[in-house]
Chains A and B, each alone.
Chain A
Amino acid sequence: MIKNGTRLASQVCDTQVIVVRSADSLDDLRCGGAPMVELAAERSGELDPAFAEGSVMGKRYVDEAGAEVLVTKAGAGTLAVGETALSLKEAKPLPASD
């Protein structure tokens, strides 16, 4: 299983994420239709138009297995596990406490 805190990049757009809460499902984490890779890894492929909804900077995305990633750089691709798109986590806002 991918470790919490791991940073991953899309091969086909600018998206970068950090793993906030890992799950086995993230082994098949994709962006823009292509598997996400370590930041230093080589990249190849092209954005799949079927997975081009985009990712939003600073937002958290979750899957049904409880995995959670945080977008640290926005891009054109859709975040997905396999072919199932992750959903945007709607957080109940907490008041500033520090």
Chain B
Amino acid sequence: MATSSDPDRTAVVSGDVRLTTQQLSDLADGGAGIVAGSQASHVAYIGTGGVMLPLLIFASARAGVTFTPINYRLSADGIKTLVARLRDPLVVVDSRYVEELGGPDGLEGVAKRVIVSDDFLSQAADAEPAAEFADPDSVGVVLFTSGTTSQPKAVELTHNNLTSYVTGTVEFGSAEPTDAALICVPPYHIAGVSAALSNLYAGRKMVYLPIFDPEEWVRLIDAEHVTSATVVPTMLDRIVTVLQAGGHRLASLRNLAYGGSKVPLPLVRTALELLPHVGFVNAYGLTETSSTIAVLTPDDHRDAQAAADPAVLRRLGSVGQPVPSIEVQIRDESGVVLPAGQTGELFVRGEQVSGRYTGIGSVLDAEGWFPTRDIATLDEGGYLFIGGRSDDTIIRGGENIAPAELEEVLVEHPHVRDVAVVGVEDPQWGQAIVAVVVPAVGADPDPDELREHVRKSLRGSRTPDRVVFRDELPTNATGKVLRREIVEELRAAPAE
């Protein structure tokens, strides 16, 4: 479709590579020929992305083969373990990771064939093309979850899931000819996959920044006249630091989307103040839902910022309203659907929702609802508030405590830059509440003052038993706080 609409439009900019829609399509046809010729049942990609990501997504689809981008930051053993879970894969790997994986034969035994990314790119230009139309119910993409709380699960997304997401949230060719998106989310994250699909569908030039760097991000916004971008919380934090140093206006930028995990509210406010001409978008979604299922729009941000009504003001901390093609329910532990204002587990339903894992099967209930395992509340206006993962719930003295509730209070303290609240084993309470605080620059917060700050807003039983200080929180590349690491570290050094 994109090819027939405007074949000569620049579709991808990635380092020195610039491709029109037609060139990308031709390369994908040739790439499909390579994939089909390898007789692989799966294509795996180990690398930083850029042009390789849209190319391999479409080449795999046109060969009727499932595609899996793998986290290149994992150890060689970690990567091999994941590749071994795929059936007869053709593995495409960036040259810089070949050595780490033990040289050209390093993947022997787990891969059917290995090809270096640059070779795939050059061979795709000459290969005998293939262009099959995949069965809509076949699995187009398998993504491994980040596995912050358990072993990575292999999420299966069908072509129908992915296209439903795109057609449900994006109008074809709706971008202006001068629009450009800056993409810096990693290729193995659902946002990386959805960015390649939705921007091509919208007719928006995709500018890739495979290895995130805040200065380079700012430079590319100006150099490529970027009009929209998506960042995860840790990236937003680093960009704000660069902007605060001064000298950048990001004049071309119209939309800045953030998501991936919870962004501290003070950081959102600072970003809004620094970039008054930019429309901010908070996007919420899961791998299992083929990306975004709820959006807090630029207008929502402005309304909340200007609101006198506390209910509207609060929405700055929400993930907005569900997209039109998604239904949501909040249920209690016994499965009863809760009304607005009450907190429970978020269930979602829609064509873009997969809820299916390799080796586990579908976890959808009989009516097609997917349990997100996220704690959530809807307000009277239908705005969705996410209160963290139910797996992270602390049980202290028989009371269930959502860490997010304490974190939202603590991060508003002027001496707190970032915070994670976790439960650690405790002989008296079962679990004790520990707040791990990253102090604001130049601040030296007093633990008792922070505990008092929480006690004033929440019940006494929700006050941290201990407050400890760290220079930073451990996060993965997409900004998710690694709570398990924090707990293990606290357990190893309990006396503080």
Given contact pairs A5-B159, A6-B136, A59-B172, A98 touches B291 in the complex (Cβ within 8 A): yes
Given contact pairs A5-B159, A58-B172, A94 touches B297 in the complex (Cβ within 8 A): yes
Tell me if B257 and A96 are in contact (CB < 8 A). yes
Tell me if A5 and B1 are in contact (CB < 8 A). no
Where chain A touches its partner, the secondary structure class is loop
Given contact pairs A5-B137, A7-B133, A98 touches B292 in the complex (Cβ within 8 A): yes
Given contact pairs A70-B167, A97-B281, A98-B195, A4 touches B257 in the complex (Cβ within 8 A): no
- Chain A proximity mask over B123-160: 1 for CB below 8 Å, otherwise 0: 00000000001011100000000000000000000011
Tell me if A97 and B230 are in contact (CB < 8 A). yes
Interface residues of A in 38-86 (CB under 8 A from B): 57-60, 70, 72-73
Residues of B near A93 (CB, < 8 A) are: 171, 174
Q: B390 in the interface, Cβ–Cβ < 8 Å?
A: no
- Chain B proximity mask over A1-40: 1 for CB below 8 Å, otherwise 0: 0011111000000000010110000000000000000000
Residues of B near A18 (CB, < 8 A) are: 163
| Among B10-18, B43-51, B95-103, B197-205, the stretch in contact with A | B197-205
Residues of B near A97 (CB, < 8 A) are: 169, 230, 257, 259, 281, 283, 291-292, 295
- Output the nearest chain A residue to B291 by Cβ-Cβ distance: A98
Tell me if B170 and A94 are in contact (CB < 8 A). yes
Residues of B near A57 (CB, < 8 A) are: 1, 4-5, 172-173
- Cβ-defined partner of B136 (8 Å) among A5, A72, A95: A5
- Chain A proximity mask over B451-483: 1 for CB below 8 Å, otherwise 0: 000000000000000000000000000000000
Please give the residue numbers on chain B whose beta carbons come within 8 Å of chain A beta carbons, in ascending order.
Answer: 1, 4-5, 133, 135-137, 159-160, 163-164, 167, 169-175, 181, 185, 191, 194-195, 198-199, 202, 204, 228, 230, 255, 257, 259, 279, 281, 283, 291-292, 295, 297-298, 323-324, 351
Can you give 13 contacting A-B residue pairs, CB < 8 Å? A4-B136, A4-B164, A5-B163, A57-B172, A58-B1, A92-B324, A93-B171, A94-B323, A96-B175, A96-B202, A97-B169, A98-B199, A98-B283
